[in-house]
Structure 1
Amino acid sequence: MVPLRQLSVGNSRSTDVRGWPPEPAGALPVVLRAARLMRARKAAALLVSAAFAAVGGPTLMHRRRRQRGDYRIVILEYHDTGPDGAKHELLVSASRLRRHLRYLRRYYRLISLSEAVAMLARPRELLEDAVVVTLDDGYLGNYRYAWPVFCEEGVPATIFVCTGFLDGSELWFDLAERCLDAAVDRRISLEALDRGLRGAIAAWSHRSRKERVRSWLKSLPPERRDALLSQLRPLCEPLREPRPPLTWEAVREMQRSRIEVGCHTVSHPTLSTLPARR
């Protein structure tokens, strides 16, 4: 038995970023602390997983679980899909997606999300390990590149769409990344910008700090974050082309095959930053 591992299909500037984000030490937002803890756990998990696989642990564990009838359902999450050579840490090429699915089919049963829910309600019917494939946010690449692969390989999938994105509003984090990329590439003047935004741009120029910038933006109330992006965007125009969303026509067409569609909020906010009334 081969273990299922997470399939990620994840100019220096002189500005001092050691004091960024602007919160004092020991008082980082909850989202930042959670992101730091998640990175540490992920690194530890990968190390343990590699050592476990090296000594044949997964095969032994699978045999023992089969003897007990203890099978698992794993949710595998993707985001955007594109052609070979496309570069974005949350984008997987169609050819790589196909390789993933063929690998998974060798060791797992590939089922839809609705099938998984039904099986969890009747666990005795789960007679083998299963995997559910999902795609988040609702990028057009899911229709152009992923859907043909799912059809050809006979694999069901679920796409969770942000309805506001499909209606024409760009996802805030995609806009933020386009602005930050332009600000770093063009070395725009930072003097007139908010202190936190200056630090974010400086940190964004260091690849190892990009996740910290994302976590900081996620920790901000939506109104505050939108105000910062409104301040930054005019200084960065023109921006590179955004990643396009699915159309509702494409969603309906995919639903007629083995693609299930779920809701992923309207605008993809960080729910912990919203007031209770929302």
Structure 2
Amino acid sequence: MPLTSLAFIGAGGFLSPGGASGCLTVLTYHRVLPQADPLQPPDQIDAASFDGHMTAARSCFNVLPLPDALDMLEQGKLPRRALSITFDDGYEDNHSVALPILRRHRLPATFFICTGYLGNGLMFNDVVTEAIRRAQGPHLDLSWLGLGMRPVSNIAEKQGLSKELVQFVKYLPLAQRQATCDRLWEACAGQNARPPLMMVPEQVKDLAAHGMAIGGHTHTHPILTKIGLDEAREDIVRNRQALRDITGSTPSLFAYPNGRPNTDYTREHRDLVKEAGYRAAVSTAWGVATRESDIFQLPRFAPWNVSPTRLTLQLLKNAHKGRQAVSA
């Protein structure tokens, strides 16, 4: 074992203790791309970098299935340097790229799936990114959005515009968000088919068959604070039932879409998730979970596309400073 790994393990035993005072780090990923894509945000990691992350995780941490880790957390029996791995949304590359890497390293993970996009669906952020990818320069007329003429003649310009538009449409009402994405696609890509970026149900079932946990992530990925409570309840319940139909097992874990407390979900939505029958839920607030954490508002850590050494340092820092409670 490299000396750096031994040093990290020693530091991790102090910064991420076990037992009754133990803490659990939960990593969150979305896509694992075959190769780096300059149009994607930095949190969309490529296969080589993800493999490095998993090497570091296996070398320096005790990687646990999230359901088991939560049992140990509640019982005060976590090992030192406890870590779980999660994925959000249900991208096809989770199965074709991430799963083989996880299996090679013999690591478990939990996949939170939006059932409404499985098969031929495409999430709104990907409609934006893939539309801008296909835009023909030098400019794109976005005056219908109040954004005027925007340059799209090179990758850097497209990358900046894609990031801006994703944030622009994210918090629109669901129907308006869909209509905006449809019009943007038509303006940039015409009648071309949208790329199939999401898993099909058979791939979700295969993840479960390989021992991966499957969790809920709503059916249509709404920002829960932007829809009514009855609509939110229906979307949460529909998603859970669909996952049960696909895998033959009712999911016990849930991830809030976008996941920021008091911005993307509130205490009322936390209670809806509990009412739906889930045993725990994760947010995207940074930190580590402890026995004092709200089991329905667990923090996670989103690693940027960094080297394995820097990732380990980030995780240890997060374990040391991330014990504040998450509360909506």
Same fold by TM (over 0.5)?
yes
Evaluate the alpha carbon distance shift between residue 272 and residue 65 of structure 1 in structure 2; reply closer, same or farther with a 3 A threshold: closer
Aligned residues: 222
Spell out the pairing of 1:150-229 with structure 2 (5 A cutoff). Answer: 150-183=102-135, 185=137, 187-191=139-143, 193-195=144-146, 198=148, 205=157, 207=159, 211-229=163-181
Spell out the pairing of 1:88-167 with structure 2 (5 A cutoff). Answer: 88-89=40-41, 90-123=43-76, 125-167=77-119
Partner of 1:277: 230
Contact (CA 8 Å) 2:19, 2:78: kept in 1 or not? no
Distance in 1 of aligned mates of 2:195 and 2:102? 25
TM-score by length of 1: 0.67
- Alignment deviations for residues 167-201 of structure 1 (CA, whole Å, 9 cap, x no partner): 4321112112222343464523445x232x548x5
Distance in 1 of aligned mates of 2:184 and 2:37? 26
Evaluate the alpha carbon distance shift between residue 190 and residue 60 of structure 1 in structure 2; reply closer, same or farther with a 3 A threshold: closer
Contact (CA 8 Å) 1:156, 1:258: kept in 2 or not? yes
Residue of 263, 266, 271 corresponding to 2:216? 263
- Alignment deviations for residues 143-175 of structure 1 (CA, whole Å, 9 cap, x no partner): 111111111111001111110111432111211
Contact (CA 8 Å) 1:178, 1:240: kept in 2 or not? no
SS in structure 2 at match of 1:188: strand
Contact (CA 8 Å) 1:157, 1:259: kept in 2 or not? yes
| Higher deviation after alignment, 57-66 or 110-119 | 57-66
Larger radius of gyration: 1
Q: Does 1:73 align with 2:19?
A: no
Distance in 1 of aligned mates of 2:168 and 2:86? 26
Distance in 1 of aligned mates of 2:54 and 2:185? 39
Evaluate the alpha carbon distance shift between residue 66 and residue 277 of structure 1 in structure 2; reply closer, same or farther with a 3 A threshold: closer
Evaluate the alpha carbon distance shift between residue 174 and residue 68 of structure 1 in structure 2; reply closer, same or farther with a 3 A threshold: closer
Partner of 1:51: none
- The structural deviation recorded for 1:215 is 2.4
- Alignment deviations for residues 22-64 of structure 1 (CA, whole Å, 9 cap, x no partner): xxxxxxxxxxxxxxxxxxxxxxxxxxxxxxxxxx999668537
- The structural deviation recorded for 1:261 is 0.8
Spell out the pairing of 1:12-91 with structure 2 (5 A cutoff). Answer: 62-63=13-14, 66=17, 70-87=21-38, 88-89=40-41, 90-91=43-44
SS in structure 1 at match of 2:63: strand
Which structure has the higher relative contact order (CA within 8 Å, separation 6+)? 1
Distance in 1 of aligned mates of 2:166 and 2:78? 38
Quick one: which amino acid aligns to residue 82 of structure 1?
L
SS in structure 2 at match of 1:128: coil
Distance in 1 of aligned mates of 2:218 and 2:163? 22
- The structural deviation recorded for 1:69 is 6.1
Evaluate the alpha carbon distance shift between residue 145 and residue 65 of structure 1 in structure 2; reply closer, same or farther with a 3 A threshold: closer
Q: Unaligned regions of 5+ residues in structure 1, if any?
A: 4-55
SS in structure 2 at match of 1:244: coil
Residue of 211, 218, 236 corresponding to 2:188? 236
Evaluate the alpha carbon distance shift between residue 96 and residue 64 of structure 1 in structure 2; reply closer, same or farther with a 3 A threshold: closer
Contact (CA 8 Å) 1:2, 1:107: kept in 2 or not? no
Distance in 2 of aligned mates of 1:57 and 1:221? 46
SS in structure 2 at match of 1:205: helix
Evaluate the alpha carbon distance shift between residue 84 and residue 167 of structure 1 in structure 2; reply closer, same or farther with a 3 A threshold: closer
Provide the identity percentage.
22
Higher normalized helix content (fraction of residues):
1
TM-score by length of 2: 0.58
Contact (CA 8 Å) 1:139, 1:243: kept in 2 or not? no
- The structural deviation recorded for 1:104 is 1.4
Distance in 1 of aligned mates of 2:198 and 2:205? 14
SS in structure 1 at match of 2:86: strand
Contact (CA 8 Å) 1:174, 1:242: kept in 2 or not? no
Distance in 2 of aligned mates of 1:194 and 1:133? 38
Distance in 2 of aligned mates of 1:67 and 1:254? 29
- The structural deviation recorded for 1:77 is 0.8
- The structural deviation recorded for 1:218 is 1.4
